[in-house]
Each structure stands twice: as structure tokens, then as C-alpha cells.
Amino acid sequence: MTVTYGFEHERRLRAGFVGCGGHSFRNVYPVLRYLPVSLEAVCDLDADRAATYAAMFGAARTYTDHQVMLRDEALDCVFVVTGVDSYAGIAVDCLSAGVAVWTEKPPVRTLDDVARIRAALASSGKQYAVGLKKAFAPANRKLRSLTERDDFGAVRSLALRYAQFIPSVEDLVSKAPAHDYFLDHLCHPLAVLRLLGGPASTMYYERSANGSGVATFVMQSGAVASLHLPWAFSMRGIQERTEVNGDFASAWAENNTRVTFAPNPRFRDLHYGRDPDHTIDVHGMTVWEPEFSLGQLYNTGAFLLGYFDELAHFCDAVLRDQAVEIGGIDWAEEGMRIFDAFAEGPGHVIQL
């Protein structure tokens, strides 16, 4: 598989972009150069900022009102990177105008927002996607492909670690600053959980005094999962680890980069108590990790972190006029239900 640069695509979507902030400048606008899109217009409340971004990223026109942009431009899709307070409203406006929309996470504040988007989707028939980059990080997609192999078997258990504290119930209910921080960051591990384990049925969690805690899930598939959320954790260490265990093998990823596959030794030639050398390759363990000496796309953040794949997945769905498979409205709803479940408090099973 190779990447097709933007100018090489035979068919390109007429795209608009709402939002001109630091995150979009670093991580989203630059990816457009590899996508089948023609950036027609940029919109921001700050007219000068919109003009600057349009000049830097090649848009012909600028707006300060996304409704006017939707009215005056014949767009196929819109990318939105503004903030959680506006994502649902802008998404509904785009869909109501017959335009596909991709929004950054967290996509909604409430389940009412989910209902509004679902109604707009039903009326428009267009595509809606959420920027759940962790579900598109190459390492995590590799994990998913490994779990689909015959020599892995069915997914039976998952263990995820993500450096993030759990706010108190009081903070969640009162919508203290920690509420929004948690809403923003919880999207990441939940995207990986859904990617590898499918939809969840129930949740139970416990929280320690400093906010560290563990949530356990029973998935609809019957698999069980744990989500370890440690607060006092080195951000420069292995802050993220995802492990999946199947009938015949295990696979894990560290920091969304290094992937390991290991067959279960019970089904291999294990000479317990008799192996003289720990380097003997009797277990068939395989490791994948990027190198950083070549000028490759795969070792740049836009690709390594999943930004390219999530946007390419959305664009492909629009071009094919098909539903978004990963990161659609069902994913947004489950994430909101799990977030709300934390506000119900620790110590009891919560139906999702």
C-alpha cells in the first residue's frame, strides 16, 4: 500500500474547514495534502485568522459564519475543529445542508446531542464521522488485524492503560473543569476498546483518592476488559499499553507504536524447566515498530498517530457514498454513555 498525494487524485471532494486553531494547524490541515480533497473555503470567527489559514493551506475563500459558507459554497464535505460546545450544532447544520461532516472529538456533550445528529443523518443520508485517531493509529489497526487471524482465535480479554485521572462524582455532576478534561481524553482509550472489543454491555469502576482507578467492562461479545486510568504516571514513559488475549495468542501495543504478537505457549513447543537459553525462538513472537532514520510518512505524527487514516476513512466513505465504519454516530453514543456512567459513581455495575 502506498499513499496517493493530494494532487494525484483523479477525483477530489470540494471541502470546507471550520476552525483555525493550534490543534488544527498542527495535526489536521497538513493532512489534507494527502487526501482526495480540494480545500475551497475556510471559516473562523476571527476573519484575519481565517484569511491567514486560507493563504497558508490554499483555500480560495474565507467566512466567519459556517451557515453562510454552507449556503454559498457547493461543498461535498466539511471538517470541523472548533470545540465540544459547537460540534453537534455545526454537524447538524452541515448534514441538514446535505453536506458530509467530520468533527474532532469529543463530538457531543449529551445524549440529546446524539439524538439531534441521528435525526439529521436520517434526513440527509450523508456521512458523519468523529476524529477518534486512536482507532486509526497503525499500531492499533495492526492489533485488530492480528485478532482476526485464525491462529489468534476469539478475543477473550483486553487490558488497556491510559494516563488519565477519573474526576470525582461531584466534579462530574457539577461540570467542574475536570469534567471537560475527562470528556476530552476519555475518547482515546474508549476508541481503542471499541475497535478491539466491540460494543460494551456493562461497566463497573473503582476510584482511588488521587483519581487513579480501574474500570471493567463486559463486552457484547462476551469478552471482558479492564481500563486502567493512572494519574501519577510519567508522560514520557510507556503511558499507553493495550493488550488483547485470544484463544491461541496474545498481542499488545505500547504507546500506539510498538506491536508484539505472541502465540500462547500452551499451544507451542514449551520445554518448561529445560530451556537453557531465553533467546531460543520457540514461541514465534513477532514485533513490529517504526524506524526513524528514513524520510518515510509512517514515522511522522500525522500518520503514526492516526490522523491520516481517520480522515482518509471519512473521505473514502464520502466518495463511495457509504456509511462510516469506524468512528460514526454509534461510537459517539457509546462514548457518551460510558462517560455518563462514571458520574453514576463507583462500586456498582452500570448497564450501558
What is the CATH architecture of 135-303+335-351? Answer: 2-Layer Sandwich (3.30)
Three-class SS state of 244:
strand
Interatomic CA distance for residues 51 and 41, integer angstroms: 10
Range(s) for CATH 3.30.360.10 in the chain?
Answer: 135-303+335-351
- Whole-model pTM? 0.94
Dihedral pair phi/psi, residue 138, rounded to 5°: -50, -35
Where is 106: in which H helix or E strand? Answer: none
Interatomic CA distance for residues 41 and 43, integer angstroms: 7
In the predicted model, residues of the chain with pLDDT beneath 50 are none
> What's the confidence (pLDDT) of residue 236?
73
> Which CATH number is correct for 6-126, 3.40.30.10, 3.30.1280.10, 3.40.50.720, 3.10.450.50?
3.40.50.720
- Give tens-digit pLDDT for 249-291: 999 999 999 999 998 866 556 676 777 776 666 567 899 999 9
Give the dihedral sign, CA 292/315/79/123: negative
- Give tens-digit pLDDT for 53-103: 999 999 999 999 999 999 999 999 999 999 999 999 999 999 999 999 999
> What's the confidence (pLDDT) of residue 215?
98
Three-class SS state of 54:
helix
> What's the confidence (pLDDT) of residue 284?
73
Interatomic CA distance for residues 334 and 125, integer angstroms: 21
Q: Residue 176: left (phi > 0), alpha (psi -120 to 50), or beta?
A: beta
Range(s) for CATH 3.40.50.720 in the chain?
Answer: 6-126
